[in-house]
Every structure is written in C-alpha cells, then in structure tokens.
Structure 1
Amino acid sequence: MAKEKDPKRKIIAQNKKARHDYTVLDTIECGVVLMGTEVKSLRLGRASLVDGFVQIDGGEAWLHNIHVPLYSQGTWTNHAARRKRKLLMHRAEIDKLESKSNESGHTIVPLALYFKDGRVKCEIALAKGKKEYDKRQTLREKQDTRETNRAIAAVKRKERGQL
C-alpha cells in the first residue's frame, strides 16, 4: 500500500471503513458521469462513500448509494443526492471485475473520490469480506507496530539527549 502521493490528486472523500471491513484484492481508477451541480457540490469537498457499492448491470458499471449533497446555489436543475452514477471504464476492466465479483464473498466497493487534472475520479476495489477475528487481528497488528515505533523513537530521543 506504499503508493506515491500524486500532487495532482485532490481527495474529496475516502471510505476508511471499507479497508477495515474488507481485504482489498485489486484497485482500479475510473471516471464518473456527473451532472454540473454534483461537480460543484464536490468542489466544496462534500461527499460520503460509506454505504457505497458498485454493481455491474448490462455490461456497465454503476456506483450506488454514495451521497453527494445538494448544491446550495442550485435551482430546479439540482441533482438527486443518492442517485446511481455510471462509472467510465474499459470493457476489459468491466468484464474482469464482473467475473471476479461473481465469486463467493467478493464485492466491489469505492475507496476514494478525488479530482485529478480537473476531472472527478473514483478509486474502486475488488474486495473480499473480512471475518470478525480478521478485523481484530489487523487492529492488533496496527497497535503493535505503533507501540514498537513509539519505543524506538523514545530510545532515539534518549540517545540524542545523552550525546
């Protein structure tokens, strides 16, 4: 997961709960078909991916249940907050995701929504659901690494103080 930070990437929303609830197997960046008021609302940095999921229907990928609030300056042309949105992907990517998501326990979840070169992109992941003990194990591992890093930093501070 050690990705380089892209300076042209301005994050709007992240789904941190997805990484806790699922084991991420593969990630794909794709575009999103949006209305004008949705883009304006996203530019204000307001969106929620918590309940979002991707469904492949008729050879097209659709993003369901993400919440983009209504644009306050919008008129009667304003968008619906929880409508389904089409994802822009290559046919080969869609077919690959569809075949893998049909396996037992696999699903497709959105991980992040961001601007890249002025366009809204969505990072989606093919994921497998974690069991409760897997979630506890990953939390325990994070806590252990955090404690060891703190201990190492304390020793280094003490050594600097003595020199």
Structure 2
Amino acid sequence: MKIVYFDCFAGISGDMTLGAFLDCGVSPETLRQELEKLGLPGFHLEIEKTKKRGITGTSCRVAADREEHCHRHFPEIQEMIESSSLDAPVKATALSMFGRVAKAEGKVHGVPPEKVHFHEVGAVDSIVDIVGAAILAELASPADGFPAMHIHRVGYGFGEREFEVLNALRVFIGGDEA
C-alpha cells in the first residue's frame, strides 16, 4: 500500500503542496498537462528548485498572466470543473473541496452555498491550487505520529513568505513494503 505523509510543521498551502510533490519527482510537464484539462486560461506555473535555510526543495507558484478581479459563485466553479477533461476522481475531489469551502463561507455569511461568491478563491491561482492540492482534505486520514513505512521519497515545498521557522511542507512518500 502506498503511503503519503504530510508533515505540516509550518502549515500547508496549495503552492507548498504542489512544490512538495514536484520535489518528490512529479514531472512539471505532467502537472501542467493535467491542469490544462481545466480549460482555464490566464495562468502559468513558476517552478524553481531552490534552497532555504540549508534545505533543498521546490517552489511552485501559480502566476496569473494578467490581473484578475474575478468573483465567481460556486455554481460557476462547479460547471468549470464538471465540463473539464480532468479524470473523474480528480473532478469529484475538487468539487468536494470547493463544496466544503462554499458551505463554510455560506455559514459565516448566512447564505446558501450556491449563493457564495468567491473573491480570492475564485481567482485563477486559487482554483489551480485547490484542484492541484485537493488531495489532502478529501483523501487523507489523520495519523497519530509518523506511520510505519519504508520511505521512498521526501520532498519539500516552499511557501513564499519568510518566517522564523522554515516555511515549508515536507512530504514523505513510501509504502508498507520496501
């Protein structure tokens, strides 16, 4: 069985997750090809192998090709994902992620999820982050400490901001067999 362990010692973001998976060996071209299936124009990935505080890792930033001041409602994002050529499990996970965000925002603002309009999350970079980073909240189960596993790869995805602690996500990929 394959095991992916997220060590969120400094938190987690979409950029950090994408960077960590790229650092573990996911091909940048494969990531780009999968994200193109969204049919969402106006962005590109800025990927850089770098070193911070003595640790080598990967920065992956979703950059908009133009300034976007876009507010999208949940049904618009839902339609965008459903009409994409993403694989069915990826679509389902991304839709579930956006559904969670819509429910939480709706509760805070006192509106039904379909009436929630996304400011930042409606922007291209956030859509790409969630579709590329939808894995964790939907598919992960909490672990009590580090799982018993044979480690095959370790990757670091760096966040943009600088803090007192290294702003990175560490991902371990392995399995229960050598």
Q: What is the TM-score when the length of structure 1 is the normalising length?
A: 0.25
Q: What is the TM-score when the length of structure 2 is the normalising length?
A: 0.24
- The structure whose Rg is larger is 1
The structure carrying a bigger strand percent of its residues is 1
